[in-house]
Amino acid sequence: MISALGAGQHVFATFAAADPTAAIELSDSEYDAVVFEMEHKPWDINALKDSFQYLLNRRRIFEADSLAPDVTPLVRIPANGAEKAQWHAKQALDLGAFGIVWPHISTVEEARNAVAACRYPRLPDAPRHEPAGLRGDGPHAATRYWGISNTEYYARADVWPLAPDGEILVGLMIEDQLGIENLPDILDQVPGVGLILIGEGDMSQELGLPRQYDHPRVLECKRRILDICAERGVAVAHPHVTADNVKQVLDDGYRFLMSAPVRTYPGLRKARELTGRG
């Protein structure tokens, strides 16, 4: 996922509940990443731990000659940016998450907290020490999940692109007008932001246009975010990619494409049609 972003490529991802069944289905998919959704679903740390394990596909890991899951697990934590919620990020990272998505980031202070919570502390004279890390030291489950030693984990568990070799992605959701207004300062003053996600649902609510994603005012807000990020080389995620809008999404400049898997029942559909109950 980070390699693709660093190379200017597109990343294909989805949201999913922290549930072993969903993880098993995704483990054999062509997605690059999954964001386990725990903002609007329960914060169930045991379900998240199980989901990480069931996401591992041994055959695909063997064929890729890499210990990392073929589908990269990230977690969207429940608390809004203003709530700080460093402990949510700490627990998800300590289980082995490769990134954290922070909802409702609206200020530079909130963004700095988001990045700092995903980093281990560094002394002021250490390279790339800002934002100073706040993450507590308890990586044992994460090192087992990553398949590396503690020493290797400490070297690799830093945020990208602040640390060029870092393997932790920090994604910030911009979901209101204040966040858009402050986005240039956020990206200019807070190194370590690897991805911006547009929260078009909450944004449309604030505008009094709930879920009218194609309304001109909503589109204008999304365009402003895209332009601000493009000027600074930061990828932007589109959360609602479909077969109908994907070409426009690509033309608009999104590079992190999130589409929902669709479950179909062709046998049931055909049977209802043939029995007159279609």
Residue-wise pLDDT for 238-273, tens only, equals: 999 999 999 999 999 999 999 998 888 999 999 999
pLDDT at 52: 97
In 150-199, beta strands by DSSP E = 159-160, 168-174, 195-198
pLDDT of residue 120: 96
Q: Is the pLDDT of residue 217 over 80?
A: yes
What percentage of the chain has pLDDT greater than the value 90?
90
User: Which pLDDT does position 199 carry in this prediction?
Assistant: 96
Q: Tell me the sheet residues that pair with 76.
A: 37, 101
- pLDDT at position 123: 72
Name beta bridge partners: 244.
Answer: none
pLDDT at residue 278 in the model:
76
Residue 61 CB neighbour total at 10 angstroms = 16
**Residue 197: its pLDDT value, please?**
98
Which is higher by pLDDT, 58 or 183? 183
Q: DSSP letter at 102?
A: E
pLDDT of residue 254: 98
Kindly report, residue by residue over 100-131, the tens digit of the pLDDT: 999 999 999 999 999 999 999 987 777 777 89
Q: What is the predicted pLDDT for the residue at 212?
A: 94
Q: Is the pLDDT of residue 18 over 80?
A: yes
Half-sphere exposure of 61 (CA within 13 A, CB side): 15
Which residue from 11, 15, 68 is spatially nearest to 201, judged by alpha carbons? 15
The pLDDT, as a whole number, for residue 263 is 84
* pLDDT for 64: 84
Say what the pLDDT of residue 131 is.
Answer: 92
277 Cβ neighbours under 8 A, 6+ residues apart: none
Asked if 145 and 95 touch (Cβ cutoff 8 Å), the reply is yes
CA distance 69 to 174: 28
Give how many domains the chain has, as a whole number.
1
In a 10 Å sphere around its CB, with 0-12 CB exposed, 13-18 middle and 19+ buried, how is residue 153 labelled? buried
The string of pLDDT tens digits covering residues 36-57 is 999 999 999 999 999 999 999 9
Per-residue pLDDT band for 178 (boundaries 50, 70, 90) equals: very high
pLDDT mean over 63-79 = 91
pLDDT of residue 266: 93
pLDDT of residue 248: 96
CATH number, domain at 213? Answer: 3.20.20.60
Name the more confident of 68 and 112. Answer: 112
**Strand 168-174, strand 99-102: pairing:** parallel
Residue 114: give the domain boundaries.
2-274
Q: Which residues of 214-253 are buried (b: 16+ CB within 10 A; e: fewer)?
A: eeeebeebbebbbebbeeeebbbbbbebeeeeeeebeeee
In DSSP terms, 237 is beta-bridged to: 197, 256
Residue 164: pLDDT band (50, 70, 90) is very high
Measure the CA–CA gap between 119 and 136, rounded to whole angstroms: 9
Tokens of residue 222, six digits: 């999304």
Please state, in angstroms and rounded to a whole number, the distance separating the CA atoms of residues 230 and 278: 48
Q: How confident is the model at residue 95 (pLDDT cuts 50, 70, 90)?
A: very high
Calpha distance 42→127 (Å, rounded): 38
